[in-house]
Each structure stands twice: as C-alpha cells, then as structure tokens.
Structure 1
C-alpha cells in the first residue's frame, strides 16, 4: 500500500482528493463526462484526476473496506464495499423504475455511438414500467417517481438534460453505469419477481373486497 501521494500532494490536489473520495462514497460512481442543463457535455475533471491518481485513491479507500474499480470501456470509476455494507435499499417502485431504465438502455445499445449514453424521456420510462413490461400495474405517483429519479441521479445512473422529472417530456441520459447497478443476470429475474408480487397483491385486494 502506497500513500505517499497524500504527504506530497499540494493543497489543491488534496482538496480534489478528498472531494473525489467523498463522491465515490456517497454517489458510488464517478463518470467520464457530465451533462449540464442547457449546455454541452463536459469532460469531468474528477474522472481525469482518478485516472492519474488511481492507486493513491484505491489504497486510501481500501483502508475503509472499499474496493475502487475502473470500467474504462464504459467511462466510469466505482466502489464496492468489501464487507457488503452500506448498500442502498430501494423500495418496490424504485426498483421497478430502475429496471425500466436498464431495459431502455439495453434497447438503445444497438444504435448507441461512442458516447454510450441512452437519451430518453420520462414518458418512455412510464410506458416501459407499466405498459411494455408490466412491472407495475399502474403509473406511479409523479412525486414518487421524481424522488426515485433523483436517487438515481444522485448515484450517477442518470443525468438530467432538460425539464423536471415529474414532467412527461423531461429529457435525461441513462449512463453506462446502469450496467453495473443492474447486472444482466438480475434484470429479468427481478422483473419477474416484481410482477409476481404485484399480481399477488391484486389477488389479495380482490379477495378482501369479496
């Protein structure tokens, strides 16, 4: 383990070092490019910093039981807790929305260019989650939907481009980080479980009404 960087870094470098570590611990991912509403895509200076100082950040985070990984093909760094602690627990509806995002990303992969982001709207997500894949029986409350989307944005799974998440025409990007957030092995299995649970809930409500 080599932490020489911390003792030799400038004040500015140490500040960015701390910022990057905090981002990884709070957001899981650091992505290569960023969207800014109303502006073009920007290269992320924190991604560049991690590319240069990967070993120093990795060794520091390992002291806290975090494993830093680099997915160069998809343009992101991310961390995994080696003790399987500090996991984000999603509600059923949040999980359904996340699965719909992964499905939309998969559908877009064939036409994706080098950027690898999938651009879509809130309307498309709602159609997938209710109509096309029937993960949920009805459209979620838009305030609840907005809160779920903000959770995913805070963890760098999506980035807003235009509008608000409680508006059907809101445009956003699904980032390649979704491939790590929802593995291919878990995608259809989780969707099937959600459908089964929703059907069971509906049957229970019908029996109670009778």
Structure 2
C-alpha cells in the first residue's frame, strides 16, 4: 500500500479517513447529499473526502478484502466484500419492500432532480408491494415495515424526512444507492420468484379450505 496519504495527513484528515472507512464497512454506501431538517439536501463532506482520497481509501480497504467502488453519475461510493462475506440477508417481506423501492425509483427517474433521490411515503411502498405488483399476498404489519425501512436506512438505501416508519404517511427519500442494491436483472428475477411463492401459498390455502 502507498502510505503517502497516511504519512502526510493532518490529525483531522486521519480522523475523517477512519470515520469514512468505518461508515463504508457498517453502512455499505456513502452518498453525495444528505437530508437535514430545515435545510433540505446538503452536500455530504464524507463524499467530498472520498472523491479527493479515493485511491488511498481503496487501497486500505483492499487490505481488508473490501473493494471500494464509485458511481459518479448517481453520486455514491460503496463497498463489496471480495470473499462474498459479511452480506446483509433480508427476509421475504424485507426483500419485497426493497424491490418496491427500486420500482418506485425507476418510475420517478425522469423526474429526479440533481440530488438523484425519489420522494415517497410508506403508503406508496405498501401499494406497490400488495396492489400494483402483487409481490406479497397481504400487507405486512407496520412493525415489520418499520423494521425493514430502518434496516434499509441504516444501509443508506433510504433516508427518513418526516414522520415515523410505522406510519403510512411517513415521507422519506429513496437514495440512488438502490440501483446498486438491486440491479434491473435481479429485480425481475426476484419478483418472479416471490410471485410464484405467493401463488403456491394461495393454492395451499385453497386446498386447506376445500
């Protein structure tokens, strides 16, 4: 590893270096802008730091078997474990909510502003999951919705703007990181699987009734 940055960095730069690395390892993504109450979208200083010191951070994380990647067009950095370890595993309902977020993001892409995030409500997500695309046979309860959205917020897929995740009126932004979390190909494949499972569940219920 080239230690030129480490050797020449100020104490403040080293602190931010450690902070950014820990953020990537714990949250997966670092986005270009963040929502701040009363200010709206503001520039993320950690994203700026990564833009300036990409190679130094990339080399360091590479020693730990993490590959740092960037999407300059959509405005985020993210890491992948080269050994395919430390993956975040979602249950069926969490997966369905993530897929709904990707669908909503796709539908809004033409209207997105410079921040590249799509604004929606919990109600919008549940309509996608149960009504519009019928990924799940029934609406998840609000505790399950809250757990799923909190998990996704912890990994910088969404960011809450107003309200609480267990309220249907809760407003939040879907960040462009959802594009890396769910590729277009994966979206179609997983939706097909969930719909097949839903059909099987419904057939089983009909058999039990008969």
Distance, in Å, in 2 between the alignment partners of 1:208 and 1:134 is: 22
The answer to whether the 8 Å contact 2:105/2:118 transfers is yes
Which residue of the partner structure matches residue 45 of structure 1?
A: 45
1:105 correspondence with 2:102:
no
Q: Partner residue of 1:144?
A: 144
Partner residue, 1:22: 22
Alignment of 1:1-210 (within 5 A): 1-210=1-210
Choose 22-31 or 107-116, whichever is displaced more. Answer: 107-116
Gaps of 5+ in 1: none
Contact 2:122 2:165 in 1 (8 A): yes
CA distance in 1, matches of 2:27, 2:3: 23
| Aligned partner of residue 87 in structure 2, secondary structure | coil
Q: SS of the residue aligned with 1:120? A: strand
Of 33-42 and 132-141, more deviation after overlay is shown by 33-42
Residue 102 of structure 1 contacts residue 182 of structure 1 at CA under 8 Å; is this kept in 2? Answer: yes
Equivalent-residue separation in structure 2 for 1:7 and 1:208 (angstroms) = 69
- Provide the rounded CA distance (Å) in 2 between the counterparts of 1:84 and 1:76: 21
Secondary structure of 1:80's aligned partner: strand
TM-score, normalised by the number of residues in structure 1: 0.96
Contact kept, 8 Å, 2:41 with 2:115, in 1: the verdict is: no
CA distance in 2, matches of 1:128, 1:41: 26
Q: Does the CA contact (< 8 Å) of 1:156 and 1:177 recur in 2?
A: yes
2:189, 2:209 → 1: CA distance?
A: 31
Shift of 1:38: 4.0
Deviation, 1:8, is 2.3
Give the 3-state SS of the residue equivalent to 1:2 in structure 2.
coil
Q: Which moved more, 1:81-90 or 1:34-43?
A: 34-43
Distance 1:66 1:177 in 2: 18
Displacement, 1:206? 3.2
TM-score of the superposed pair, with normalisation by structure 2: 0.96
Aligned residues: 210
* Unaligned segments of structure 2, at least 5 residues: none
